[in-house]
């Protein structure tokens, strides 16, 4: 299965359906089922102190080091100034990503929470998880 590792709180924001666009500095041609892995990296101080962001996940536990949900990666959009201005109209989505001209918006649909999170070591980029 194809997996993308994200730091918290971003992996859980996707799992909970609060974030449907993952922002990246690089594009991907991959389309299809993508599992989301919550990396073991602890939440950055700046994110932890962003109350507006953290309030989206009030009382929701994090599953560090686990694959927590699956979704469909349906598009990868190059961010133009116009695109960024459109996303600003969706304040919740805007605060959940790094929206800047020249970056990429990975559009996620059909998010499903895994009943049993899968313990896994994360990797950079899109990686393949193979059950042992």
Average pLDDT for the chain: 95
Measured CA to CA, the distance from residue 30 to residue 48 in angstroms comes to: 31
pLDDT, tens digit, for every residue of 29-48? Answer: 999 999 999 999 988 898 88
Q: How many CA atoms lie within 13 A of 122 on its CB side?
A: 21
Instruction: Identify the pLDDT of residue 34.
Output: 98
pLDDT, tens digit, for every residue of 80-102? Answer: 999 999 999 999 999 999 999 99
User: Which residue shows structure tokens 């927590």?
Assistant: 68
Burial class (CB in 10 A: 0-12, 13-18, 19+), 83: middle
pLDDT, tens digit, for every residue of 114-131? Answer: 999 999 998 999 999 987
pLDDT at 132 over 70: no
Going by CATH, does the domain composed of 2-128 fall within 2.40.110.10? no
């Amino acid at each position: 299965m194809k997996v993308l590792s994200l730091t918290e709180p971003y992996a859980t924001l996707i799992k909970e359906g609060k974030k449907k666009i993952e922002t990246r500095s690089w594009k991907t041609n991959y389309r299809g089922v993508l599992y989301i892995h919550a990396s073991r990296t602890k939440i950055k101080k700046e994110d932890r102190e962003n109350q507006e962001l953290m309030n989206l996940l009030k009382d929701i536990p994090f599953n560090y080091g686990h694959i927590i949900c699956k979704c469909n990666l349906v598009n990868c959009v190059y961010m133009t100034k116009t695109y960024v201005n459109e996303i600003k109209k969706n304040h919740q989505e805007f605060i959940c990503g790094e929206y800047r001209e020249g970056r990429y918006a990975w559009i996620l649909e059909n998010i499903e929470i895994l009943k049993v999170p899968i313990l896994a070591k994360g990797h950079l980029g899109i990686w393949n998880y193979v059950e042992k």
